[in-house]
Amino acid sequence: SGDDAGAEGGDGAAIELTLAHSYTEDQPQHRCGAQVIADEVAAADVGLDVEIFSSSQLGGDADRIASVASGDIDIDIQGASALGALYEPISVLDAAYAFDDAEHLAAFMASDEAKPVLEAFEEQTGVHVIDAWSAGARQFTANKAIREPADLEGLRVRFPGSPQFLINAKALGAAATEVAYEELYLALQQGTADGQENPITNIDSQNLAEVQDYLSLTSHQLNTNLLIVGPVWNELNGEQQDALSAAVETAVAEVTSCVEEDEAAKLDEWRAGGEWEIVDDVDVDAFREQAVAYLEENLDDDSLEVFQAIRTTAN
């Protein structure tokens, strides 16, 4: 368990760290992320052992966030918007068009601009952010092509329920509707929702191509995953902290390339088959301009600071 982990450091038995997440074992977050972290940490041979619990076995996102803060789970993989439950401004990493691409996210996380928000988060919660990767950009699906903001008018689009996503919906000009993730396929098929937005890997695993006609590549938000570690972080020695950070760094690179490969393969398959139409000619600039203007107007002070810090690290 987490609590007696620190006591046994140094020589002798390895410290066992639990790494929990919500993804299935064939998703890139597990294959190229969690598993890579466990393997790299074991290879570093610094008296650390990472034990993975996938597929929400140790509870849903909200449960696990609280467990990381209380030290009952050591490491977790969480979306920035979910972490807003501990410290609101961090959820801005999930703001619409905050990041241009995965490289931008990596550049931001490595920059001094990221320090204020991450340090404030750690001070407030006792939870340390090691790094972040993107599980792909979120795209719209609907029964019509979405090329410009006006195309969203009159559509009921399913967004996740947390505040940052609902702000994003407003920023993009969409009418958000609430549907549980498990009921998404059904809701789209039956027309209780007209569209939804998710990264391509989720769109694929939910088989949404069967119930929607268009996938519009708006790339309106990076689906960030933050690697967080609870109070046990401060019980690790310098060597162990470095080994864990290095393992995460390797995993970030792996996940990024796995996601790219998976997405490219999936898009090729969809373009070749006639299941639905892939809309490439989206006026991304129009969406970005509208969203950024809305966010700069409507985010509160702390959140706006983070948003602007992110934008200054863009190319």
Partner 1 sequence: MTDAPPPRARILRRIAGAIGVVEITIGVIALLTILVLVFIQALQRYLPGDGIAWSGEIAKFSLIWLTFSAAGLLITTRGHIALEIMDSLPNPMAVRIVQTFALVCVAVIGFGLTMEAIALIETQGIVKSPVLRIPMSWIYIPVLIGMVSTTIRSAIAAVDIAWHGPVLADVEDTIEGASA
Partner 2 sequence: MSLALLGIAIAVLLVLRVPVAFAFLGPSLAYMIIEGQSAGMALRYVGNAAASFPLLAVPLFILLGALANHAGIADRLFRFAMAVLAKVRGNLGYVAVGTSVGFSWMSGSAVADAAALGKVQIPAMLKAGYGRRFATGVSASSSLIAPVMPPSIPAVIFSGLAAVSTGALFAASVVPAILMAAGLCIVVWVLVRRNPAIQAGRFDKAEVLASLKGVVLPLFAPFIILGGILGGFFTPTEAAAVGVVYILLVGIVQRSLSFKGFIRSLVETVTTTAGIMLIVASASLLGYILAKERLPQMLTEFMFGITSNPTVFLALCVVLCLILGTVIDATAILTLIVPILMPIALRYEVDPIVLGVIIIISLMIGLLTPPVGTVLFVTAAISKTRIGEVFRGCLPFIIPSLVIVILAVLFPDAVLWLPEVLGL
Instruction: Give long-range contacts, CB 8 A cutoff, 24+ apart: 31-35.
Output: 31/258, 32/251, 32/254, 32/255, 32/257, 32/258, 32/259, 33/77, 33/133, 33/225, 33/251, 33/254, 33/255, 34/77, 34/251
Nearer to partner 1, 178 or 280 (CB): 178
Confirm if 192 and 61 have CB atoms less than 8 A apart. no
User: Binders of partner 2 among 201-260, rule CB under 8 A?
Assistant: none
Nearer to partner 1, 50 or 211 (CB): 211
Closest CA to 171 of 311, 295, 282, 308: 295
**The two structure tokens encoding residue 282:** 């989206």
Residues 6+ apart with CB under 8 A from 25: 31, 54, 55
Nearer to partner 2, 125 or 256 (CB): 125
Minimum CB–partner distance for residue 313 and partner 2 (Å):
36
Minimum CB–partner distance for residue 202 and partner 1 (Å):
18
Minimum CB–partner distance for residue 194 and partner 1 (Å):
11
Three-class secondary structure of residue 177 per DSSP = strand
Minimum CB–partner distance for residue 23 and partner 2 (Å):
13
Cα 85 from Cα 157, distance rounded (Å): 23
Cα 52 from Cα 50, distance rounded (Å): 6
Pick one of 111, 190, 207, 298: the residue that binds partner 2 (CB under 8 A). Answer: 190
195 binds partner 2 per the rule CB under 8 A: no
Nearer to partner 1, 31 or 156 (CB): 156
48 binds, among partner 1, partner 2, none (CB under 5 to 8 A by kind): none
Nearer to partner 2, 178 or 242 (CB): 178
CB atoms closer than 10 angstroms to residue 36? 20
Cα 50 from Cα 23, distance rounded (Å): 17
58 binds, among partner 1, partner 2, none (CB under 5 to 8 A by kind): partner 2
Nearer to partner 2, 13 or 186 (CB): 186
112 binds, among partner 2, partner 1, none (CB under 5 to 8 A by kind): none
Pick one of 13, 43, 49, 70: the residue that binds partner 2 (CB under 8 A). Answer: 70
Give contact residues for partner 2 (rule: CB under 8 A): 1-4, 53, 55, 57-60, 62-63, 66-67, 70-72, 179-180, 182-183, 185-187, 189-192
